[in-house]
Amino acid sequence: MQTAFITIELPLPQTPADIHPAIEAQLKTHGTPLRWSITRITTTETQRIGQIEAIVTTD
Amino acid sequence: MLPYTVMLIVPTGIGASIGGYAGDALPTARAISQVCDRLITHPNVMNGAQLYWNLPNVLYTEGYALDQFAAGNWNLRPVHSNKIGLLIDCGTEPDLITRHLQAADAARATLGLTLTDYVLTDEPLNVSLKRADSGATWGTIGNPDSLLRAAEKLIHQAGATAIAVIARFPDDVGSEALSNYRQGHGVDPLAGAEAVISHLIVRQFKIPCAHAPALSPLELDPSISPKSAAEELGHTFLPCVLVGLSRAPQFVEQFVDKVDLSGNLQLRNNQTQPQTQSTDIHRDQVNALILPESACGGSALLHLSQTSTQIITVRENTSRMQVSPADLGINALSVQSYLEAIGTLVALRHGINPAALSPKIDPIARFSHSFIMKP
């Protein structure tokens, strides 16, 4: 197993209930999420972009 | 009597102005514990290195477990005591290991805690530290498998029901980050890596875990901030961890996916639902969650915002994070201070709307569909 620090940017769903699964799904493309946080949100005219920092594990 | 349950979160490694140092959120936890029946909080809040305070109604719950609990995946099961297994990084110098063993023996003889025989990892853990663009601190482990092998030995051979990890951390003597932290205005450079260590064990073994970094002694500095002073007192940060783990709740995995219209439990993956105990705590029993207003981008908040838990955010507990509930479209009650949060809890607990304590109260209005439902 290895641990890796990653950062991603993700358009956040409008519905709060959809935010967590959207982030987990995106992080899973990099590994198994261990710990993460949205650190900042940038709002444009059409969407909110979340900056997410995370530790994932890979085999 | 219906217990009133509060969760208090101060994420570690984000430079929280209250709770980002050496257990400086512990007074807040002590105060909140007096206005609720149960307080669920995590090691970063309760750990003051050599300093700690035993609060019988506090459930010392590691961050990964908090997230699983908030998701409804795990329940918390209070215990009378745990057998703590000491897991020591073999990359630690022998004298420093001895200091930690003496701290463990002191906890056994002077506090009456139960510890199993200790285990050394078979490889150095090789912790490395990182500071992210946000200003938060993170870290990675060079040998996570060694950590997990040691934990497995403690749990399955030594009989440990909680794990205290001591990992050798890089000495950062003279660095600006460490200096800022000791002066009470930086971000804890170790915190992010500490969280990764305990998260790895909790994820794998579903067992209480907390971490104490092993570090070389620092030079005497008369200008240390009071908020960081607790970490200057001794040779280890272990005592608070052992006290916290001694009665940390166990975790009960929930396999109930949903309840059908007939009231039958639909289980996930054909699992058998473990027997519940009357003292088990489910996330639906959390009446309020308190956290810094700028640090709402975490998993637990996102989960609990979808339940009936009242979210209370504290404005004056600033941090390097920049995510408020409003940024996420989540409703929360915003207060200035933890003192105000405590008053709010008293009101909520007794069924009093906090808005009724304001000098101005608007008349009741007729309900109108003044918003458009989003698809």
pLDDT (tens digit per residue) in B18-67: 999 999 999 999 999 999 999 999 999 999 999 999 999 999 999 999 99
Q: Rounded mean pLDDT of B266-279? A: 68
Partners of residue B322 in chain A, C-beta under 8 Å: 39-41
With respect to residue B108, please indicate whether it lies within any of the assigned structural domains: yes
Task: Tell which residue, B128, B151, B123, has the closest CA to residue B139.
Answer: B128
With respect to residue B159, please indicate whether it lies within any of the assigned structural domains: yes
Of A35-39, B180-184, B202-206, B327-331, the least confident: B180-184
Q: Do A55 and B299 touch (CB under 8 A)?
A: no
With respect to residue B200, please indicate whether it lies within any of the assigned structural domains: yes
Decide which of B373 and B308 is more confident: B308
Q: Is the confidence at residue B263, as pLDDT, over 90?
A: no
Place of tokens 């998260």: B199
Pick the residue from chain B with its C-alpha nearest to A43: B327
pLDDT of residue B178: 86
With respect to residue B361, please indicate whether it lies within any of the assigned structural domains: no
Contact between B139 and B168 (Cβ < 8 Å): no
pLDDT digits (tens, 9 = 90+) for B94-134: 999 999 999 999 999 999 999 999 999 999 999 999 999 99
Helix, strand, coil share (%) of chain A residues, nearest 5: 20, 55, 25
With respect to residue B65, please indicate whether it lies within any of the assigned structural domains: no
State which amino acid sits at residue B166.
I
Domain count, chain B: 1
Q: What is the mean pLDDT of chain B?
A: 93
Report the alpha-carbon distance of residue B155 to residue B298 in Å, rounded: 29
Helix spans in chain A (H): 19-27
Domain boundaries, position B81: 77-251
Report the alpha-carbon distance of residue B339 to residue B350 in Å, rounded: 17
Contact between B198 and B62 (Cβ < 8 Å): yes
The CATH number of residue B166's host domain is 3.40.50
Q: Is the confidence at residue B184, as pLDDT, over 90?
A: no
Q: Which SS3 state, helix, strand or coil, does residue B134 take?
A: coil
Q: Is the confidence at residue B375, as pLDDT, over 80?
A: no
Percent of chain B whose predicted confidence (pLDDT) is above 90: 85
With respect to residue B26, please indicate whether it lies within any of the assigned structural domains: no
Tokens encoding B102: 């003496």
Pick the residue from chain A with its C-alpha nearest to B328: A16
Contact between B319 and B294 (Cβ < 8 Å): yes
Q: Decide: residue B319, CB within 10 A, 0-12 exposed, 13-18 middle, 19+ buried.
A: buried
Nearest Cα of chain A lies from the Cα of B110 at a distance, in angstroms, of: 36
Mutate to test the interface with B, among A55, A56, A59 (most CBs of B within 10 A): A55
